[in-house]
Chain A
């Protein structure tokens, strides 16, 4: 038996390394290629010119005004969308859980609905709605936050819902209420601190999604980071590839932070149990 297990372990190791090597090459090659593409000098040598320009904000603004507008719009959108999503979703989900349990299925259904409506379809229906938005609020790219909040609803909902399921909301709320706390206090000072990491992960997902969004911005004729990068690709391929790579690395760092937040939560839980 021991021999069989050892042989199987060896076979599995071989299989593992073959699969990982082949797919690893497939996945790393484009990233390496992007780096090589952006550091290619005029004579075929190495040049860090593009990257130096990318971190030099005033000069970048001067050289590629559209790009800097797009970057600024995307960062503004990130802040607004995170704020709007959390303000809209977190109190509602807590409130429904505590006081309106019958509505829970409906809220869940509505939050997960955007998963079955592709962004390209949503934008078809959003066009008339945005005619009104433009009428009331103007054509600023920041108005995209309304559409983005809908896009991130499923992910944010899942995260917040999971966070709430992990704690005993009802008992916490009853305890706080019996000590004289009003509902706003219960939500803000009792429940919210207990689902901090879930809220944080919802926020991180929102950031990653908003930074990468192209479909809605491009078809509603508003400039964000991705629209600017796409436009730039036609005139300066090197710069657009560099910005793409930078955005990707930023998303990677954010999601890595997210997994660390999740880990931290698990570790504290384990500590509490033991």
Chain B
């Protein structure tokens, strides 16, 4: 025999009814662990970076660290980082979009599309040390392709110096995770393009070129730009691949920050790493904000 008790508190509050303050406090207890955790391991680190960036070695407020971002070697690192991210983002976006388009022209439930999508998922995550070693095994000094080209074809790809461990090498290696990421973020937009639009354009006498110029490209421009921005942020934040590949010097900002963290503290530079970190947050946040704007726009058109 089940005892039916009346429940004083049904699952949902009726709209417009403000709950009793005491009960609201009890309810808030449920999210305390989450907010506590996020506070310690996300908010505190962010504050440490932000506050540290404007704190001098004596513990007082100063703008010196931020002013040091104007030093030529820091500026050069930011410039190289932005160049690397922009070039690999554009390259990745164009090639990724082409690959995505090649996939949507195939059968949607076919094996080809499934295989490439799954592989893209893995390769987009495939950064870091693994990627660096993959390229060392491929075009390192005793790599597969290097030896093949040298012994069989007679081309020495390193005739004018070993470029794999410098900026040009990073460009090539970053493309390896940027292209798959573009495929993943751009496919939904490509799927939003309906074949009927093309048929409509054709029945009105439009050519393929006209269709792409007047219908396809304007529709795909926002998601394409959004994807490019996401790729930019992705490359700009990447650290592990570069850390494993570049052993001499610190050409890009993440490696400069590594230098600031691990090297002997130079007087007056204690917080320079934090200032550079803050600079990175500003760049990434700006890019992600633009991305969110574009995302909203393309959701309206291709949703």
Which residues in A have some Cβ–Cβ distance to B below 8 Å? 1, 4, 8, 12-13, 15-16, 19-20, 23, 26-27, 29-34, 36-38, 88-89, 91-92, 95-96, 98-100, 103, 107, 110, 113-129, 146-147, 149-150, 153, 170, 173-174, 176-178, 180, 186, 208-209, 212-215, 218-219, 226, 229-230, 233, 237, 240-241, 244-245, 247-248, 251-252, 255-256, 258-259
Contacts and interface: CB of A to CB of B under 8 A. Distances in A.
A226 B121 CA distance: 20
Q: Is the interface of B mostly helix, strand, loop or mixed?
A: helix
B9 to A, nearest CB: 8
Contacts, number: 247
Given A149-B41, A215-B243, A233 B11 contact: no
10 contacts: A20-B99, A88-B33, A95-B31, A117-B281, A120-B254, A121-B237, A126-B41, A174-B12, A229-B130, A244-B129
Interface in B94-147: 95, 98-99, 101-103, 105-106, 112, 114, 116-119, 121-123, 125-130, 133-138, 143-145
Interface string B52-63: 100000000000
Interface stretch (B185-193, B257-265, B295-303): B257-265
A23 B135 CA distance: 16
Contacts of A32: 144
A1 B164 CA distance: 51
Contact of A259 (B47, B121, B133, B180): B121
A105 to B, nearest CB: 13
Interface of B: 4-5, 7, 9-12, 27-28, 30-31, 33-35, 37-38, 40-42, 44-49, 52, 95, 98-99, 101-103, 105-106, 112, 114, 116-119, 121-123, 125-130, 133-138, 143-145, 176, 179-180, 202, 208, 233, 236-240, 243-244, 254, 257-258, 261-262, 273-274, 277-278, 280-281, 284-285, 288
B105 A15 contact: yes
B122 A252 contact: yes
A92 B33 contact: yes
A69 to B, nearest CB: 16
B134 A34 contact: yes
Contacts of A95: 30-31
Nearest to A87: B33
A269 B41 CA distance: 38
A114 to B, nearest CB: 7
B137 A121 contact: no
Contacts of A229: 129-130, 133
Contacts of A20: 99, 102, 112, 116
Nearest to B180: A27
Given A120-B277, A180-B5, A125 B239 contact: no
Contacts of B117: 259
A59 B192 CA distance: 54
B176 A27 contact: yes
B122 A251 contact: yes
A240 to B, nearest CB: 6
A212 to B, nearest CB: 5
Pairs A-B, 3 closest by C-beta atoms: A125-B45, A118-B237, A33-B144
Contacts of B35: 110
A99 B27 contact: yes
Contacts of B126: 212, 248, 251
Nearest to A218: B243
Contacts of B116: 20
Contacts of A146: 41
Contacts of A26: 176
A92 B31 CA distance: 6
Contact of A120 (B34, B37, B119, B258): B258
A117 B125 CA distance: 17
A124 B281 contact: no
A259 B121 CA distance: 10
A52 B214 CA distance: 59
A30 B176 contact: yes
Contacts of A122: 42, 45
A110 B138 CA distance: 40
Contacts of B122: 248, 251-252, 255
Nearest to A114: B42
Given A34-B137, A226-B129, A116 B288 contact: yes
A215 B5 CA distance: 55
